[in-house]
Amino acid sequence: MAARTARGFKKLVRTWLIKIVEGRYRCWDDFLYCGMASAGHSDPPGAPMKLLSVGDEVYAFLNTRGYVGRGKVAKAASLADQFVVDGNFIAIDGSGSFNQVKLTDILLLRRSDMRQDGDDPSIGEWVVGVKWLSNCSRKKPKRFAGMQEPSNTVEELLDEETKKFLASAFRARLNSGEV
C-alpha cells in the first residue's frame, strides 16, 4: 500500500509482525498504556526495530500465544533513554501536567527494567511509537494453525492467509490484497 508524503511523493507502507517477548524488560500492558513497542537486551534483539517506518502497519504477536494488537507506527525507533511518550500526564506531586514525558520518567511501568542500558545501542531497548488501533485480551489471542508467526524481532507480513485473517480479526481494510 502506498501513502503520500508531505511533498506528494508516494511512500510504500509496509505491514510488519512484531514479536513481543514479555518478561523483565517489557510488558504488553505497558505498550498499550504508553503507545509503543520495544525489543532489546538480546531477547529478542532490538536493532531490527529500526526497520519500522512512521506510517507502517504492525501486528503484535505475543510470543507463543498469538496476535494481540494492530497499530500504526507513529514514531521511529529510538533508545529507551530518548523515547518520549505522548499523553496527559500529571506530576506525582500535582505541580503540573504535561503532554509529553520521557519514558525514563514514567514511574508506573510494570517492567521498568526496559530502561536498563537505555543509552547503549548494542544491547539497550529500542522503542517505536505505535498508535494502537485495535487489540484483544492476552487470554484470547488471535491465531490459526499454519499462520505466519514472526521468527525474528520484526518480520514483514507476506503470507496472504495470515494477512486476511489478521485484517478480519483486527478490523483492518484490505486494499487490492494488501493490509
Least confident of 1-5, 24-28, 53-57, 139-143: 1-5
Q: Which residues pair with 2 in a beta bridge?
A: 12
CA distance 45 to 154: 10
Reading the block at residue 170, the C-alpha cell is 483486527
In a domain, 179, yes or no: no
pLDDT at 19 over 60: yes
Three-state SS at 154: strand
CA pair distance 20, 157, nearest whole angstrom: 15
To 5 degrees, how large is the angle CA 128–CA 172–CA 47?
20
Euclidean distance between CA atoms 101 and 108, whole angstroms: 12
Q: What distance in Å separates the CA atoms of residue 10 and residue 2, rounded to the nearest whole number?
A: 6
Find the domain containing 142 and state its range.
Answer: 2-169
95 domain residue, yes or no: yes
Q: What is the pLDDT of residues 79-97, one digit of tens each?
A: 988 888 888 776 666 677 8
Range with the poorest average pLDDT among 20-29, 49-58, 149-158: 20-29
**Residue 29 belongs to some domain of the structure:** yes
The answer to whether residue 146 sits within a structural domain is: yes
- The C-alpha cell at 102 is 520521557
pLDDT at 35 over 90: yes
Q: Is 15 within a domain?
A: yes
Cβ-Cβ contacts under 8 Å for 102 (sequence gap 6 or more): 81, 82, 83, 84, 85
Instruction: State the pTM of this model.
Output: 0.84
The cell for 11 is 511512500
Maximal CA-CA distance, the chain: 53
CATH number of the structural domain spanning residue 101:
3.10.590
d(CA 38, CA 20): 8
Q: Residue 19 carries which side chain, given as an amino acid letter?
A: K
Q: Is residue 41 in a domain?
A: yes
Residue 176 lies in a domain: no
Structurally, the chain folds into a number of domains equal to 1
